[in-house]
A and B are shown apart, each in its own frame.
Chain A
Amino acid sequence: MNVKDALLKPILQWIYVACSLLLFWILIIKVFQPQAWLLPSPGAVWVRFVELLHHGDLLSHLNVTIFEILIGYMIGVGSGFLMGYPVSQIRALERIMTPYLVAGNSIPLVAFAPLLLLWFGNGVLTKVIVTAMIVFLPMTISTVTGFRTQKPILRRLMRTLRCNKWKTFLHLELPAAMPSLCSGMKIGAPLAVVGAVVGEFLGSGKGLGHLILEANGLLDTAQLFVSNIILGCIGILFYTSIQTFEILLLGHWQQRRKER
């Protein structure tokens, strides 16, 4: 499966759905004629978007949020992998860590995040940590699952072929775990967007989370829509990028398997 086949059709379908939603939105406005503070028209949201773009520093807010998402995501994926791999290999470690991972997953970040603000201030660092934390857990679980569900017979084969730990990891464990790792990365992508905005909600002068808080404070519903639509688009783009990466990578692994 190439990238074009895998993505072009779904993207066209997404555009159809987006157009349908837009028409539905326009229909609601025409039929019910709600006041702008309750539900602004698509036109009003577009006008606000253009205003924010030209006069409201939208791009600098966007840059800050994207930076937090990317750095937090990379740290979350990296640390999730580094935690998940030893847990998948050492049973005792799994027994020790599982309750803590479950507990960590059970505490909503919005409840824990105020502590981070207290400890690390309201700079970018706090937002990156919140983002990394929200990505960390699904990535850890996907890593454990990916490395755990491997056929013992293949491991024995690698030992028979006198492959060392590193070669076994590189040629057996990692390729076999890759679909699960990619799933974890895909789950983490939209969560990273959530993490960055949750971090910004705690207190921030920059970012789309700040724009949402400001819009809420000024009761500017059109600005709320602009910020939320942009966040949704970032989520879709980020997820699609990871999906593309997955197709490219797994396609590569699958191709190699065929060649053998």
Chain B
Amino acid sequence: MIPLLMFLALDKLTFAAGYIPNIQFAPFYIAAERGYYQQAGLEIEFDYTIGPDVLKMVAKGHIQVGSVDPDAYLIATHRGMPLVHLATLYQNYPITLISKKPIVTGADLKDSAIGISGTFGASYLGLKAILKQFHLVPTDLDIRSIGYNQVSYYQQNKVDAVVGYINNEAVILKQMGLDVHNTQLKQNGHLPGVGLMSSQVVLKNHGSKVNAFLIATFRGVQDVLAEPESCFNEVMRAYLPHLETEAHLETTRAVFEATLPFLQSDWSDSNGLGQCSQESWKRLQLLMQNEGLLPVEFEWQQHVDRSFLYSRKESKNIQD
């Protein structure tokens, strides 16, 4: 009877991962599987709405917490969406230019056919920043919008290079036995990566619930970092059994292993999980302002709440 009452007392919260079910979301799955959300009084529902639609769903309050690329988040708040950035999950910017030959100079890239999901969003911003490193502009290349078909286009030699995530497309292509050379931003380690957001209304009415979600999630992050092998097996068994086939298992494992480094950095080791440095945000803002995506008067500090920090001390208290 008591467990039933406990279940009824749980607060429902929907989390939008922003992509299809994937091992990249292992911290969330682990937090759910090990009952961290339940212990925090939450019943979690995973939603797999993709891309910019997550921002709209969260802003309207249909979804309480969503995963978001930091650049898309800043554009959304600049447009007036009542959102609040609560935590940074990935410590690095994961966008990479994947090519069959190493890119050493601008000449290696000039006139190449580049496949990209679309000429907007994190991928395009990342590509433009990479091109700038080589003193190139988008018109120097043949940029093709190919949707989320980077892997098939690259495999079939329909493009010379694709823009993707270093912990997803780059890993998958390498697993397929193809030549993969990654070109990333020089300041890669110093830009914020994927984060978590909620809406102002949800925070006003259910702030404690969202905070409980963050704490439980970062318990999951900590577990994944501390015991990756057992977490991987647990997640595969409970959430991704359809990927436990011979064809998918090794790739999924490789994606998982490539994701782990994104969950921590020197900064998070010193300060705690859940945020990144102010300099990272400043750098991103400047990059976006240079690209004309944000006005010069835009100030990221007004839109990013950096108060949540999952420190070792806090995690110790929770575990105690």
Contact = CB atoms under 8 A, between A and B. Distances in A.
A219 B81 contact: yes
B209 to A, nearest CB: 25
Interface string A193-206: 00000000111110
A74 B134 CA distance: 46
Given A213-B120, A219-B81, A118 B149 contact: yes
B149 A203 contact: yes
B149 A117 contact: yes
A203 B144 CA distance: 8
B313 interface: no
B144 A205 contact: yes
Given A121-B158, A122-B146, A205-B145, A214 B118 contact: yes
A197 to B, nearest CB: 14
Given A121-B158, A217-B52, A219-B55, A203 B146 contact: yes
A210 B145 contact: yes
A160 interface: no
Given A217-B121, A219-B52, A122 B81 contact: no
A203 B145 contact: yes
A216 interface: yes
B189 interface: no
A217 B118 contact: yes
Contacts of B144: 122, 203, 205
Nearest to B124: A217
A37 B120 contact: no
Interface in A130-184: none
Interface string B130-163: 0000000000000111110100100000100000
B147 A117 contact: yes
A62 to B, nearest CB: 17
A103 interface: no
B51 interface: yes
B175 to A, nearest CB: 19
B143 A205 contact: yes
Interface in A206-260: 210, 213-214, 216-221
Nearest to B120: A217
A218 B120 contact: yes
A38 B143 CA distance: 31
A219 B149 contact: no
B16 to A, nearest CB: 15
A106 interface: no
A205 B119 contact: yes
Contacts of A117: 146-147, 149
Interface in A12-55: 35-38
Contacts of B3: none
Contacts of B117: 203
Given A122-B147, A203-B145, A216-B52, A35 B120 contact: no
Contacts of A219: 52, 55-56, 72, 75-76, 79, 81
B200 to A, nearest CB: 12
Interface string B87-118: 00000000000000000000000000000011
Contacts of A122: 144-147, 149
Nearest to A222: B79
B80 interface: yes
Closest 5 CB pairs of A and B: A217-B120, A203-B147, A203-B146, A37-B79, A205-B145
16 contacts: A114-B147, A118-B152, A121-B158, A122-B145, A201-B147, A203-B147, A205-B143, A213-B118, A213-B145, A214-B118, A214-B119, A217-B120, A218-B120, A219-B55, A219-B75, A219-B76
Interface of B: 51-53, 55-56, 59-60, 72, 75-76, 79-81, 117-121, 143-147, 149, 152, 158, 293
